[in-house]
């Protein structure tokens, strides 16, 4: 068995909020007709979650499902589940116009936590991150400084952010800079 490594194992920065790389995560991109009952059933079987609304994540016992676009979902699960989920999805979606791909190792995941975690992201992304506009369960694909990224807000107020593995170092760098002590803007 290969010795699998995430992009920046153990990377952590403590500022006015905490930024940490969360280790390996399973991720499956699923494209198809999101109004299809067959697809909804396949997603439910894979993650235990219902279909997410636009701009939201839905949660199940095995992970979460994020709404990526009108014809795309991202299934986020434990790293060792992703392969089996792709097989199960392909099986369940036979005959449907759909595509499931294991993208786990193309990605890096960071958690941004602390009372003012929203400020760390608000400095880097053109998104309203106030509690009213971005409550727990919200999901957004956007730009993080110069790279594409997506993030959602957990029930405990922390954020988890996904980006391409190839830019993990850049992402960790700007997140850490943004979280530096003494650099709060003070609006969120």
Partner 1 sequence: MLTLQCPYCGVWAEETELHAEGEAHLKRFGPGSDDADFESYLFMRENPKGVHFERWRHSHGCGKFFHAARCTMTLKVFGTYPAQTLEPPQDIKDRISETYPGWTWRNFK
Q: What is the contact surface with partner 1 in residues (CB under 8 A)?
A: 54-55, 67-70, 72, 126, 140-143, 148
**Nearer CB in complex with partner 1: 139/159:** 139
**Nearer CB in complex with partner 1: 74/98:** 74
97, with CB counted inside 10 A (0-12, 13-18, 19+), is: exposed
Question: What's the rounded Cα separation, in Å, for the pair 65 and 40?
Answer: 11
Question: What's the rounded Cα separation, in Å, for the pair 150 and 109?
Answer: 10
**Nearer CB in complex with partner 1: 86/124:** 124
**Nearer CB in complex with partner 1: 55/157:** 55
Q: Which of 164, 162, 24, 42 is nearest to 96 (CA)?
A: 42
> Mutual orientation of helices 82-92 and 37-47 as an angle, nearest 10°?
150
**Nearer CB in complex with partner 1: 67/172:** 67
In angstroms, give the least distance from the CB of 69 to partner 1. Answer: 4
Question: What's the rounded Cα separation, in Å, for the pair 143 and 188?
Answer: 19
- Residue 79 phi, psi dihedral angles, 5° rounding: -60, -40
Question: What's the rounded Cα separation, in Å, for the pair 102 and 74?
Answer: 10
In angstroms, give the least distance from the CB of 166 to partner 1. Answer: 16
- Token pair belonging to 7: 């992009």
In angstroms, give the least distance from the CB of 147 to partner 1. Answer: 9
**Nearer CB in complex with partner 1: 45/68:** 68
Q: How many CB atoms lie within 10 A of CB 79?
A: 15
């Amino acid at each position: 068995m290969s010795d699998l490594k995430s992009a920046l194992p153990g990377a952590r920065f403590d500022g006015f909020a905490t930024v940490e790389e969360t280790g390996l995560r399973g991720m499956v991109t699923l494209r198809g007709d999101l109004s299809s009952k067959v697809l909804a059933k396949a997603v439910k079987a894979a993650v235990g979650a219902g279909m997410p609304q636009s701009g939201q994540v839905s949660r199940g016992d095995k992970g979460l499902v994020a709404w990526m676009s009108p014809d795309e979902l991202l299934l986020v699960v434990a790293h060792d589940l992703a392969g089996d989920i792709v097989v199960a999805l392909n099986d369940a979606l036979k005959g449907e116009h759909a595509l499931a791909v294991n993208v786990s190792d193309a990605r890096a995941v960071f958690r941004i936590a602390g009372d003012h975690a929203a400020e760390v992201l608000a400095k880097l992304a053109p998104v309203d991150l106030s509690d009213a506009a971005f409550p727990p369960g919200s999901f957004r694909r956007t730009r993080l400084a110069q790279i594409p990224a997506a993030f959602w807000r957990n029930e405990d107020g922390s954020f988890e952010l996904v980006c391409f593995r190839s830019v993990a170092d850049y992402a960790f760098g700007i997140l850490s800079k943004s979280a530096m002590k003494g650099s709060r803007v003070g609006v969120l």
